[in-house]
Structure 1
Amino acid sequence: MLDMRRMQVLRAVVTSGSVTAAARHLGYTPSAVSQQMAVLEKEAGIGLLERTGRGVRPTEAGRLLSECAAVVSRHVAEAETALAELRAGRTGRVVVRYFATAGATMVAPAVAALRREEPGVRIELRLSDPEDSLPEVRERRADVALVVRPPDGAAVDGIRFVHLADDRYLAVLPRGHRLAAKQALDLTDLADEPWVGSDQPGPCLDPVLDACGSAGFSPDFVVESGDYATAQGFVAAGLGVSLIPEMGLGNRHPDVVVREVRNPEPVRAIYAAVREPSPVRPALHRLLDALRSAAARPAEH
């Protein structure tokens, strides 16, 4: 097998035209360079250099190996540059799983900001259910997944949760509702109202049920909508009231009003799930910072 270090010495000899000049350039003695060339010729099984006057010139085989050494040297330099860019977070690939309401409010501005700052980082996005994306992270099919979970949620083997934002729930009422004149509602104000459900059972509905339980009642769901836009439509039609997270109110129905809720205020916590332990990934860290920045921007209503 050919030794790549000796091939680089051969390249220096061919480039400089003599063993002495190559030794001076490499910081070796001429005898050490000659020994390296003798070993390389033995490895190659063919002569690589021939004497010409005071110098040497490559044989056909020597020229071939010298050119190969130049290609290898160039590829190594390119690899070192690429690794430096990757270590600095200026390149790389990050696979992201996100749920719908986090997409427009957090993911889109975060990815746009990261692309402006580091256009060499490639972000692969796919919509997924916030409850079903953890296996993808654990099985290394995704680098990060946005999920909703309680702040005191149970630990998950192989997963680390990075808090991104607290998304408060707001009351959505039909325009002209008797409570619409109040700028803020106590949760108990809604206790006797018919309710329009906007979430399926799970981590996004649990904060609503827990808050209502703390206020001493259980909401009377008369309609199950399954998504926030449809829920607003049912509320606008006068079928009930609803609690919808702030991130889910980006597209406001013209026939509803939105009010703050207190005593208590339901909140869902949004986390980024990443593998643990995981190697240092500067590109991933930059994305998490961009997500936190996007979540910290004031919501527009």
Structure 2
Amino acid sequence: MLDVRRLQVLRAVVNSGSVSAAADNLGYTPSAVSQQLGVLEREAGLPLFEKAGRGIRPTEAGTMLAERARKLSEILTETEAELAERRAGRTGVLRVRFFQSAGIALIPPAVAGFRARCPDVRLDLGMREDGLLEQLVEGAADVAVFVVGREVPALSGIRVTHLIDEPYRLVLPEGHPLCAQDPVDLGSLAGESWVQESFTQGPCAESLQDAFAAAGITPNVTLEPDSPQAAQGFVAAGLGVSLIPRLGLDPVHPNVAVRSLRKPEPVRRIHVAVRESVARLSSTRILLETLSEVAG
């Protein structure tokens, strides 16, 4: 394989017209330049120079390689400049993954704020409910906004930080007796029927289970809908009450009432995970700052 550094020596000789002039320009000795040219000729398998009077001139192969060396030099210069821009976080792509309800009121304003500050960095956005951290571990994403249950995951090469504790809100059908209270004690809901998303497994389920245990009640879950919007619809129809994270209440169904909770107030712990390889980029830092500002 041709050596890029030797190609640049060849280019210097062709441009200057002599080995000695190229040696002066490069800071080498003439013998070192001649040695590099000899190795390059063996790599190329063709003579690169021929005698011309007292000097030398490039052969057709030597002229072609000198031109290619020029193009390679331009490519390397552009690459170094682009890498410097990426290190500074001014260009490139950040692949961001997030769960569904974060895409309602958290991610959109954060993206808008980020683009105002980093207009030349492209965000590759993707929404999914499962496997967010796996995407980072596999190198398929750079940043993930996800929900943590009882334990914060510790993964090699992944930096995890807390973003916000998002409170759950109690959603009641219009006319329910508890609509007159705000906040509502969680323990006072012992006799209710529940329309509750994500209660049996997953990080959200763990948070809810711990909250119900602290309130001393075991909820009678009659239906597990697959989205906050569906849960609101069933509550509006009078089929039960529900706890829905604040982000899942945009918009609020017109036929429900929303109340805060206490003793305890259940929360959904939202964290952000970043691959270590991009964590030091200024664009990553700005994205995390923007997410934190919006969440707050």
TM-score, structure 2 as length reference: 0.83
Q: What's the Cα RMSD here?
A: 2.9
Structure 1 residue 166 and structure 2 residue 165: aligned?
A: yes
Change in Cα spacing, 1:156 to 1:7, as seen in structure 2 (3 Å) is closer
Which residue matches 1:48? Answer: 48
Which amino acid in 1 is paired with 2:175? G
1:199-252 alpha-carbon deviations (Å, 9 max, x no partner):
342222332332222122222334433321122122223333221110110111
| Corresponding residue for residue 153 of structure 1 | 151
* Bigger Cα displacement from structure 2, 250-259 vs 81-90: 81-90
What is the correspondence of 1:64-103 to structure 2 with a 5 Å cutoff? Answer: 64-103=64-103
For the residues of structure 1 that align with 2:2 and 2:208, how far apart are their CA atoms?
Answer: 69
Q: Which runs of 5+ in 2 are unaligned?
A: none
Is 1:256 equivalent to 2:250 in the alignment? no
Segment drifting more, 167-176 vs 202-211: 202-211
For the residues of structure 1 that align with 2:152 and 2:75, how far apart are their CA atoms?
A: 47
Tell me the equivalent position of 1:186: 185
Shift, 1:104, TM fit:
2.0
> For 1:128-187, what per-residue CA distance to the aligned partner results, in whole angstroms no more than 9, with x for missing partners?
224x4343333333334333223x416455455321211101112223333323332222
Structure 1 residues 39, 126: closer, same or farther in 2, change over 3 A? closer
Q: Tell me, in whole angstroms, the C-alpha distance in 1 between the residues paired with 2:233 and 2:42.
A: 83
Secondary structure of residue in 2 paired with 1:5: helix
Give the equivalent residue in structure 2 for 1:267: 267
Cross-structure match for 1:245: 245
CA distance 1:223–1:61, change in 2 (3 Å):
closer
- Relative distance call for 1:219 and 1:32 in structure 2 (3 A) is closer
The amino acid that maps onto 1:62 is G
Q: Is the 8 A contact 1:236 1:256 kept in 2?
A: yes
Residue 5 to residue 154, structure 1, CA distance change in 2 (3 Å):
closer
* Counterpart-to-counterpart distance in 1, 2:243 and 2:146: 19
Q: Is the 8 A contact 1:168 1:245 kept in 2?
A: yes
Match for 2:114: what amino acid? L
- Contact 2:186 / 2:265 at 8 angstroms: preserved in 1? yes
Q: What residue in structure 2 maps to residue 28 of structure 1?
A: 28
Relative to structure 1, the CA distance from residue 59 to residue 115 in structure 2 (aligned partners, 3 Å threshold; closer, same or farther) is: same
Q: Please tell me the residue identity of whatever aligns with 1:153.
A: E
**Residue 137 (structure 1) aligned with residue 136 (structure 2):** yes
> What residue identity is the alignment partner of 1:100?
Q
My pick for the range that moved more, 120-129 or 4-13, is 120-129
Q: Which residue of 2 aligns with 1:235?
A: 235
CA contact 1:200–1:226 (8 Å) conserved in 2 = no
Q: Distance in 1 between matches of 2:2 and 2:221?
A: 76
CA contact (8 A) 1:18 1:54 kept: no
Kindly, what percent of the aligned residue pairs are identical? 51
Superposed displacement of residue 120, structure 1: 4.1
The structural deviation recorded for 1:32 is 4.3
Aligned residues: 292
Structure 1, 210-219 or 41-50: larger mean CA deviation = 41-50
CA distance in 2, matches of 1:44, 1:67: 15
Shift of 1:114: 3.0
Q: Is the 8 A contact 1:197 1:226 kept in 2?
A: no
Q: Which residue of 2 aligns with 1:279?
A: 277
Matched-pair contact (CA < 8 Å) for 1:89–1:286: no
- CA distance, structure 2, for counterparts of residue 285 and residue 223 of structure 1: 41
